[in-house]
Amino acid sequence: MRPLYNLIASIVTVSVIFAILPLFYAISFSYDFMIYALVALCFAQMFKIGYLAFGQGAFFAFGAYFTGLSLKYLNFSGDSAWVCLLMGVSLALVCNAMFGLAAVKRGGVYYPLVTLALGETVFYLILQFREVTGGDDGLIGLSRPTIGGQILSSFELYYIILIMVAISLAVLRLMGLSHLGRIATAIKDNEERLTFLGYNVYHVKYVLFLISSFFTSFAGALYIIYRR
């Protein structure tokens, strides 16, 4: 039970730090720090199995742009705007899943190269189709979600998203303590031994990839919700 207690203590500590951070720094800085902390933990999940991912920006962009484009072109506003967040993350997960089939299969030294190529491709497409994506300016003028029809202030939205980020951090940390997390550690230590024991290492890597990319895209969706 000690690892679980340590997990709870760490999540509570991090949540308290993020909760009081806007009292000492600009709320925009606090928000960026919180979102990128989630992205960094997602990066660490793949690095745990020896995969150095250079495509985190692409997964982040999938979540941000799919959510932002849904807000912009589907005319969701008010309470229903939260639906765009779900749509954006869902579409991002589909893209991540298709990409992961190739990237994880190659593995090894090819994984960082393939993810780097993906990141550069997404970056090029964003700049190329600036009429849709906004190019360097990004998506601006998006409607901010409400709760119960009430317009949220920057601080209210910050703390609502803080709850979502804290839950995401807890899920990722719990995954590290789970059977899946122990297998991930074993993969990095001795992948061949796991194969001899009957584990389908590719499937484990693919599941870890989906989890990591999902929460990275989720961070991107939360980013655009606030930064609209």
Cα separation of 144 and 185, whole Å? 41
pLDDT tens track for 87-97? 999 999 999 99
Cβ contact 56:214 at 8 Å = no
Where helices occur in 75-153 by DSSP H, the ranges are 82-106, 110-128, 130-133
pLDDT on residue 1: 60
pLDDT tens track for 164-179? 999 998 888 888 777 8
Share of the chain above pLDDT 70, in %: 95
pLDDT tens track for 133-191? 887 777 777 777 777 777 778 888 888 889 999 999 888 888 877 787 788 777 777 77
Higher pLDDT, 176 or 58: 58
In DSSP terms, 146 is beta-bridged to: 151
Q: How confident is the model at residue 8 (pLDDT cuts 50, 70, 90)?
A: confident
Whole-model pTM?
A: 0.88
How long, in residues, is the chain?
228
In the predicted structure, residue 216 carries a pLDDT above the cut 90: yes
Cβ contact 155:27 at 8 Å = yes
C-alpha pair distances (Å), 151 with each of 135, 142, 157, 224: 28, 14, 9, 17
